[in-house]
Amino acid sequence: MKNSQTTLFTFHKIREQGEQGNEGAWRAFLDFYSPVFFRLLEIHGDIDGTEATRILKKVLEALTANGFERFRATSRQSEREFLGDIRGLLLEVALETAVHPAQAESSPGVIFETEKIAKLLEDLPLLHKEMLFFKLSGYHDDTLERVLRIAPRVAEKAFERLTAEYAPARNAERERCPWPAGWLAFLKRVREMKTDKCLSTHQFVRVHDGQVSWYDKEPVEKHVSACLHCLDSWTGIREVGYWRHAADPVSASEIKELLAVLPIQKPPTKKSFFARLRS
């Protein structure tokens, strides 16, 4: 159940008033989106509790520094694109904050080299590549089915590739990446692989929502299938859209703690009638 103070806010209102430091907008931002961020940290980075809160505080500080410069640079188009932008920052801060530099380059039993992951995904249909990508990041089949709205068993042949060093991703007991240090470092490298040919998240949202024709959809999916950078963005849009509605809400005390790090405008205190007379 949403806080009564935030129910009147929409994404666009949060986006417009947030860069002005409006307290209500930021309270709504945290009420709506911090559950998404905490879930992403838990799955991709095996991070929760006070460590997750510490990372989110750093993300908020980065978004609001220099007159909300980073926040102003986020997408204004749609909520999922906006959350996709912040997802990249969140996972980057998680890598820098929670992972020792030596661990970031490798992890026990597996090396997430981009060439190796590309080989793992080679010659698969895009949907199967998505499912393998989600499995490597730590998702269980039941959640994966809800995110993609299709039973993971359709990609069973693709999952058979998860042998030897990747086997823990197939039957992980906890819905968390078995190798968070290596995975977060891999995602950072993938984000740095962007080229002029890479597509916008706005195009991905339109394809996911069925807003384009087959003629326009085919080249987008063909590019995503061949590009690790865009595959990460493509799957990232899907997961933030899912967790926006499925993640458990955070408590009022957690929101208050996060608000404390923000350079926001406090609403003026209303004076009583008699106080106004005396002033």
Per-residue pLDDT tens digits for 219-237: 999 999 999 999 999 999 9
CA 19 to CA 71: how far, in whole Å? 7
Considering only CA atoms, which of 206, 198, 183, 185 is closest in space to residue 233? Answer: 198
SS3 4: coil
User: What pairs with residue 22 in β-bridges?
Assistant: 265
Instruction: Name the average pLDDT for the chain.
Output: 90
pLDDT of residue 173: 85
Considering only CA atoms, which of 143, 218, 130 is closest in space to residue 174? Answer: 143
pLDDT over threshold 80, residue 99 = no
Rounded alpha-carbon distances, angstroms, from residue 137 to 27, 30, 179: 30, 24, 9
- The H-or-E segment that residue 69 falls in is helix 49-72
Where are the extended beta strands (E) located within 175-248? none
Overall average pLDDT of the 79-96 stretch: 97
Overall average pLDDT of the 63-81 stretch: 97
pTM above 0.85, yes or no: yes
CA 247 to CA 135: how far, in whole Å? 19
Q: What is the pLDDT of residues 17-35, one digit of tens each?
A: 999 999 999 999 999 999 9
User: What pairs with residue 191 in β-bridges?
Assistant: none
Where are the extended beta strands (E) located within 62-218? none
pLDDT over threshold 80, residue 5 = no
Burial class (CB in 10 A: 0-12, 13-18, 19+), 271: exposed
CB distance 33 to 245 below 8 Å:
no
Overall average pLDDT of the 185-189 stretch: 94
Q: What is the pLDDT of residues 119-149, one digit of tens each?
A: 999 999 999 999 999 999 999 999 999 999 9
**In sequence order, which residues have a C-beta less than 8 Å from that of residue 52 and are 6 or more positions away?**
38, 41, 42
